[in-house]
Amino acid sequence: MSMRPIACALLLTLLLGTASGQSQTNSPPPASKQKASVSFTEKVLKFLGISDSPGTLKGPGDEVTSGALWLADLQVGTTRALTSSDGYKSPIFLAGAGQVVLALRGTDVVQIPTVGGQGRKLYSVDGIVKLVGASSADTGTVLILLRGEAGGRPHVGLLTVTTGAVTSLPYDPASSQDLQMVEELGGWSRSYGDRHIYLKRQSKQALSGPVEWSDVFLQVGNQPPVNASQCDGVNCGQPSLSENGRLLVFVKAEAE
């Protein structure tokens, strides 16, 4: 009996087995084992004050472009000036850094202690327009907005407080969810757990006629809102809440 047909059959079996093994090796891993990328919204929600249900309507607050910084002690219901000069905007509290406020003065990033003393310039950031909020996960990182090209949509970035380095945080301009979140970052309403701060138009009748201005209101849970800034005739806005929820920093425009 010839051994040639048997040898051919064995060779064919080996070739088929090798091809099958290669096919299994090159196949992609199951979808459940592939790591999903973190979305723009998920990254932004790690910063203090950002709501997971952003609104699309802007509230009042554009009246205040810059001014002096003021502090409201929400526990005792008092307010006091934090700076003696104007020109400040978008103040925020640094998470995990005690009583420290960061604010912009032009494109300068300035650090001001809430217990008194002089603020100091840390550095300048080209194109910066707003400090949005501090990271709850990384206390040395702040979410910022930067000027877009030719008046277009703003850029979103991450500012390293210690060095002044800026890292881009890209979003999808074709995504309605991303665009809605970017619009929310440009507004002044903020949510911290069950605490919500927002701006509201106020009015009163003076001898010269009706007077209107914006105040900062705080609402905790379902409790009635409280006028936290008490600006009484002067536009106030750009509020930010401290990590422990006791202090509120805001901008008070120069009285006309």
pLDDT digits (tens, 9 = 90+) for 90-141: 999 987 756 799 999 999 999 999 887 678 999 999 999 999 999 988 889 9
**pLDDT for res 66:** 93
User: 13-27, 159-173, 223-237 — which is least confidently predicted?
Assistant: 13-27
Query: DSSP secondary-structure letter at 16?
Result: H
pLDDT at 3 > cutoff 60: no
pLDDT at 17 > cutoff 80: no
**pLDDT for res 16:** 46
At 12, is the pLDDT very low, low, confident or very high (cuts 50, 70, 90)?
A: very low
Q: How far apart are CA 111 and CA 136, in angstroms?
A: 19
**pLDDT for res 36:** 46
The fraction of the chain above a pLDDT of 90, given in percent, is 63
Any idea which residue has 């196949």 for tokens?
Answer: 27
**Which pair of tokens denotes residue 5?**
């047909």
User: What tens digit of pLDDT does each residue of 39-72 get?
Assistant: 999 999 999 899 876 554 445 555 689 999 999 9
pLDDT at 76 > cutoff 60: yes
The residue type at 87: G
Query: DSSP secondary-structure letter at 179?
Result: H
pLDDT at 80 > cutoff 90: yes
Q: For residue 47, count CB atoms less than 10 angstroms from its CB and return exposed for 0-12, middle for 13-18, buried for 19 or more.
A: buried
**Which pair of tokens denotes residue 216?**
């900062």
Q: Summarize the confidence of residues 202-209 as an average pLDDT.
A: 88
**pLDDT for res 115:** 81
**pLDDT for res 243:** 86
CB atoms under 10 Å from CB of 146, counted, come to: 18
**pLDDT for res 139:** 82
The residue type at 201: R
Residue pair 250/239 in contact by the 8 Å Cβ criterion? yes
CB atoms under 10 Å from CB of 224, counted, come to: 7
Q: Summarize the confidence of residues 146-169 as an average pLDDT.
A: 93
Model-wide pTM > 0.85: no
Over the Cα atoms of the chain, what is R_g?
28
- Give residue 69's Cα distance to chain centre: 19
pLDDT at 19 > cutoff 70: no
At 32, is the pLDDT very low, low, confident or very high (cuts 50, 70, 90)?
A: very low
Q: How far apart are CA 153 and CA 158, in angstroms?
A: 17
**pLDDT for res 60:** 53
The residue type at 228: A
pLDDT at 21 > cutoff 70: no
Instruction: Provide the strand spans (E) within the chain.
Output: 68-73, 78-81, 89-93, 100-105, 108-113, 120-124, 128-134, 141-146, 155-160, 166-168, 190-192, 195-206, 209-220, 226-227, 236-241, 247-252
**pLDDT for res 152:** 84
Q: How far apart are CA 198 and CA 194, in angstroms?
A: 13
pLDDT at 24 > cutoff 50: no
Region of 3 on the Ramachandran plot (φ > 0 left; ψ -120 to 50 alpha; else beta)? alpha
Residue pair 101/82 in contact by the 8 Å Cβ criterion? yes
Residue pair 70/78 in contact by the 8 Å Cβ criterion? no
